Amino acid sequence: MKKENEMTSVSRRKVIGLLGMGALAVQFPMSCSQAKPKSKDLKTQLFYLTIQEIGELIRTKEISSVELTTIMLNRITAIDAKLNSYITVMKEYALSTAKILDDELSNGKYRGPMHGIPIALKDLFYTEGVTTTGGTIVSSLVPEYDATVTSRLKKVGAIIIGKLSMSEGAYLAHHPKFKVPKNPWDKSRYTGVSSSGSGVAVAAGLCFGSLATDTGGSIRYPSSANGVVGLKPTFGRVSRYGVLPLALSMDHVGPMTRSVADAAIMFEAIAGADPNDQVTLRESVPSITSKLDGTIKGVRIGFDRKYSTENVEPQVVEATLAVIDVLVSLGAEIIDVEMPEVGQIVDTWVKIGNREASKIHSKTYPSRSEDYGEGFKWVIESGLKVTELEFAEANKERSRIAEEFLTMLSNIDAFVCPVMWCAPGVYSAAEVLGGFRPVDPSPLLNDVFAKPADFSGSPSLTVPCGFSKNGAPIGIQFIGNHLDEEMICRIGYAYEQNTEWHKKHPTL
């Protein structure tokens, strides 16, 4: 079933080229079917309905957008004080927008499957007139315009109900002046970073979907740790204009949702070329939702058993192998592949990411160093110490890993592997190194699973696949060829429809 056509090779060359120019190109200013839920389900599980499900209720006027938005705002007020997922709640804007969208629907104007649905944004997306912090007190600003993706979501009728907490600068540590989001499954456990608030809010039913970013795993970590779906699209598929950056050569924008179909819906809304971000691709955006039929017979999925099991926590190995069994039962062909030697991939990523981050923050560091948290100070300081030669060597190593990874992918339809080597660990009381990393254990100390797809710009879909013995969520990721978000969503959807993990929700 492998697609062998001219677009594949052209797209690969194009994305690789864009990865090299990504730090310079953006203009940065400082149809699957779903059963309708029964009325009793609406009353008891409203907050955990999918975008597809709640969207159908809005379209058929069984619930109004104003009613839905009011209910969601009340839930945020009642629950989020214990979870800290929101940094800003946009109550007045959300309610006034909901009224407009209800009026439009009454007059026969329907904007599509996201019409009137409350979603939230990681707090690094520009929102006109609403503070955007980037997780730091240094970069806080009130934008005069929306990010491209913000405006695109508004255009399809989504209601931005608020801005979500995140670790400082989109890295690892939360700024000490901001409350740290809590994992709704177990408040002592790792939420994933940097899109921590996004993972928490989606898992806790505090929004119907979120927009986040991924530079080294920041969509995939929180999706896995909170038991939700996360889609990191191909590099260049989605504009970063009006998005506070971490490392522009690796920054990706994508959705976090409670189902694969919902991730596809949000992806279709935000993807596409943008003249304000020169790395965005001109290729047309596919209609993925119409291709989600649950069949993957004959699909060639690569699996490196050694890569996915060596130095990996046994319960993650068990969950991963169970995923393989489901895929085989659905008719997929599991292909033995050999993952390229990734070497010291974390060290390579740190040299590139921290060096780029130090350049981005050069106007405020060291002049305002006292306003940075200790964790992000380390990022900048270590980035400043990276020499030109070390940076060049790191990028050479990145290119090697990316090219070899893409070569492996070119012979299969997708690659499957864990997201993290362990289930979410617990935080120390003081969050070691000022919130720099979780303790016992750290998912980042043996991080060989997230970085390759950021190096190569390949699309990756994270889907819930189980729980640890302590009840912590575990995720699996499907990585695809450039521009083939459709394939990984087809695989993820088929897996999702034949398991129950996505239907599990935390008790709050």
Which of 139, 165, 194, 259 is labelled catalytic?
Answer: 194
Measured distance CA(467)–CA(342) in Å, rounded: 28
Measured distance CA(450)–CA(5) in Å, rounded: 28
Annotated catalytic residue 122:
yes
Annotated catalytic residue 329:
no
Measured distance CA(238)–CA(438) in Å, rounded: 30
Burial class (CB in 10 A: 0-12, 13-18, 19+), 426: middle
- Concatenating the DSSP letter of every residue in 341-395 gives P--SHHHHHHHHHHHHHHHHTTTTTTTTGGGS-HHHHHHHHHHHT--HHHHHHHH
| 3-class secondary-structure state, position 272 | coil
Biggest CA–CA distance in the chain, Å, is 64
Which of 64, 65, 122, 165 is labelled catalytic?
Answer: 122
DSSP element (H, E) containing 231: strand 229-232
Which of 218, 223, 239, 458 is labelled catalytic?
Answer: 218
Burial per residue of 18-35, b for 16 or more beta-carbon CB atoms within 10 angstroms, e otherwise: bbeebbebbebeeebeee
**Nearest one of 290, 256, 258, 291 to 270, comparing CA atoms:** 256
| 3-class secondary-structure state, position 51 | helix
Annotated catalytic residue 218:
yes
Note whether 276 and 27 are within 8 A (CB): yes
Q: Around 451, how many Cα atoms within 13 Å sit in the side-chain half-sphere?
A: 25
Task: Characterize the bridge pairing of strands 252-257 and 229-232.
Answer: antiparallel
User: Which two tokens mark 112?
Assistant: 């599509």
Amino acid at 140: S
User: Which two tokens mark 224?
Assistant: 């896995």
Burial per residue of 333-357, b for 16 or more beta-carbon CB atoms within 10 angstroms, e otherwise: bbbebebbebeebbebbbbbbbbbb
Measured distance CA(257)–CA(185) in Å, rounded: 16
DSSP label of 285: P
- Concatenating the DSSP letter of every residue in 441-452 gives S-TTTT--SSHH
Measured distance CA(353)–CA(169) in Å, rounded: 12
Burial class (CB in 10 A: 0-12, 13-18, 19+), 156: middle
The residues that are catalytic are: 122, 194, 218
